[in-house]
Chains A and B, each alone.
Chain A
Amino acid sequence: MSQKEWPLWEVFIRSKQGLDHKHVGSLHAADAEMAIQNARDVYTRRLEGVSIWVVESKHVHASNPDDAAAFYEPANDKIYRHPTFYQVPDSIKHM
């Protein structure tokens, strides 16, 4: 008996027209077509979606949690990127 597992796929579902596809979980399937069929059965039994994307998990590249400080903290002191940083006189409308 072959011991080879079916590859792992990440599943993304668009819950309704106009919204983004969102990661919902993963599953095993022999190929993309089967992954989509399985995703239909596993993740949309109650009208959770109108569109499915599947990506083989080995193709997902992720940032490293150890880099979190270097990656994200520089944004902390750039509060001038937010509109609330600026004083708008009360008499100015539509801004």
Chain B
Amino acid sequence: METLELTQEEQFQARIDADMRIEPKDWMPDAYRKTLIRQISQHAHSELVGMLPEGNWITRAPSLKRKSILLAKVQDEAGHGLYLYSAAETLGASRDQMLADLHSGKAKYSSIFNYPTLSWADMGCVGWLVDGAAILNQVPLCRTSYGPYARAMVRVCKEESFHQRQGFEIMQTLCEGSPEQKAMAQEGLNRWWWPTLMMFGPKDSESPNTEQSMKWRIKRFTNDELRQKFVDMMVPQAEFLGLTVPDPNLKWNEAKQGYDFGDVDWEEFWNVVKGNGMCNQERLQARVQAHEEGAWVREAALAHAEKRKQREAAKAVAA
């Protein structure tokens, strides 16, 4: 009888095909590890930088209720970043190195956070559209092949749906308010619609890593599939709010049971990815400044812990 000897890599793929999870100490191809570290840390960086456009509105929230909600949401995002950094660390990445890569501009984060938040309606749009798009990206990742990543995503997704709902509620309140408030909501949608569609990444035909990532189940739908899903989900919600989606080519397509929509401005997309968006510099600068100004706190805490350890050791000897 012929015996089939599977290589380590084939055994690995067979486990993934059987929908088994890969855990930190299991053997994995180097490329799988590298791709995951890049994907998870980028995601963590996005959560971290994502706090900035909203932090901008905490002191100007229109009521104490909205302020408490916004504070809680921004705190969640810090938490999401921490869950994800921890997941990446199980693959051997160091926290300091990941942060250094973010601060030097070597690592990327979601381009959406390089757009400014100009009015209170933008807080509504970030929750409703941006977090809505994030949820579509993230829900399939709860079943991703790498265990610690999947578990972090389960926790993230549970919290993300509060974010989207509070954003929708902000939009609804504005849309049911004065004509000026409704206009503010419409302007918010006009500003955020296209950048949100860009969040799903380049067109499938220009996303060469998609195929391998799908095979490894660290990505479960293609960029274009998710973009289509998002449009189909959001158009009725915009209609409910009485808002107009800023796309003259948007049209229901009975045959495909989905919307046809216009093409994203890919030149703008790549320009922001390359660091030339409206807020790229400001965001990175804010991150680097926070990190540098916090250095003495990190050092003092370590020194304090060390001193206390020595004091306890001395006490133990004396006793």
**Chain A residues with a Cβ under 8 A of chain B:** 1-6, 8, 25-28, 30-31, 34, 41-42, 45-46, 62, 64-65
Residues of the A chain whose Cβ atoms lie less than 8 Å from the Cβ of B305:
30-31, 34
B302 near A2: Cβ-Cβ < 8 Å: yes
Is B256 at the interface (CB under 8 A from chain A)?
A: no
How far apart sit A25 and B26, CA to CA, in the bound complex (Å)? Answer: 18
Q: How far is the CB of A58 from chain B (nearest CB, A)?
A: 13
Known: A30-B304, A65-B23. A45 touches B75 (CB 8 A): yes
Task: Spot the interface stretch: B54-62, B78-86, B279-287.
Answer: B78-86
Residues of B within 8 Å of A45, CB to CB, are 72, 75-76, 79, 159
Select B86's contact among A1, A4, A26, A64, beta carbons within 8 Å. A26
Chain A binding surface, main DSSP class: loop
Q: How far is the CB of A67 from chain B (nearest CB, A)?
A: 11
B251 within 8 A of A: no
Residues of A within 8 A of B299 (CB): 1-2
15 CB < 8 A contacts A-B? A1-B299, A2-B298, A4-B302, A5-B94, A5-B96, A8-B89, A25-B83, A25-B86, A26-B86, A30-B305, A31-B304, A42-B83, A45-B76, A65-B23, A65-B26
Chain B residues with Cβ below 8 Å from A31 are 301, 304-305, 308-309
A66 to chain B, nearest CB (A): 8
- Please give the number of chain B residues whose Cβ is less than 8 angstroms from any Cβ of chain A in the complex: 28
CB distance from A4 to the nearest CB of B (A): 6
Q: A3-B96, A6-B302, A46-B159 are in contact. List 5 more A-B contacts (CB 8 A).
A: A2-B295, A5-B94, A6-B301, A30-B304, A42-B79
Q: How far is the CB of A8 from chain B (nearest CB, A)?
A: 7
CA A62 – CA B23 in complex, angstroms?
12
Q: Quick check: A25 and B25 within 8 Å, CB to CB?
A: no
Instruction: List B contacts of A2 (CB < 8 A).
Output: 295, 298-299, 302
A27–B82 touching, CB < 8 Å: yes
B18 smallest CB distance to A (angstroms): 15
Most buried by B among A2, A25, A64: A25
Given contacts A25-B83, A25-B86, contact A30 B25 (CB under 8 A): no
With a cutoff of 8 Å between Cβ atoms, the chain B residues found around residue A62 in the complex are 25
Q: In the complex, what distance in Å separates the CA atom of A53 from the CA atom of B8?
A: 37
- Could you tell me if B89 and A26 are in contact, using CB atoms closer than 8 angstroms? yes
Give, as a whole number of angstroms, the nearest-CB distance from B165 to chain A: 15
Which chain A residues border B25 with CB–CB below 8 Å?
Answer: 62, 64-65
Q: Which residues on the B side are within 8 Å of A30 (C-beta)?
A: 298, 301-302, 304-305
Which residues of chain B have C-beta atoms less than 8 A from A5's C-beta? Answer: 94-96
Residue on B with the closest CB to A64? B25
Minimal Cβ-Cβ distance residue in A for B299: A2
Q: How far is the CB of A91 from chain B (nearest CB, A)?
A: 44
Q: Complex formed: what's the CA distance from A64 to B23 in Å?
A: 11
Residues of B within 8 Å of A64, CB to CB, are: 25
With A and B bound together, what is the CA distance between A6 and B298 in angstroms? 8
Q: Which residues of A have CB within 8 Å of B295?
A: 1-2
Q: Does B152 contact A (CB under 8 A)?
A: yes
Is the C-beta of B252 less than 8 angstroms from some C-beta in chain A? Answer: no
Q: When chains A and B are docked, how far (Å) is the Cα of A32 from the Cα of B159?
A: 27
Complex Cα–Cα for A45 and B162 (A): 13
| Contact string against A for B residues 298-315, beta-carbon threshold 8 Å, 1 for contact and 0 otherwise | 110110110011000000
Are A42 and B76 within 8 A (Cβ)?
Answer: no
Residues A27 and B86 in contact, CB atoms below 8 Å apart: yes
Interface centre among A4, A27, A30, A64, by most chain B C-beta atoms within 10 angstroms, is A30
**Least CB distance, A64 to chain B, in whole angstroms:** 7
Q: Bound state CA distance, A31 and B82, in angstroms?
A: 17
Q: Which residue of chain B has the shortest Cβ distance to A30 in the bound complex?
A: B301
Q: Is B27 an interface residue (CB 8 A)?
A: yes
Contacting A at CB under 8 A, from B90-105, are 94-96
Q: How far is the CA of A1 from the CA of B151 in the complex (A)?
A: 34
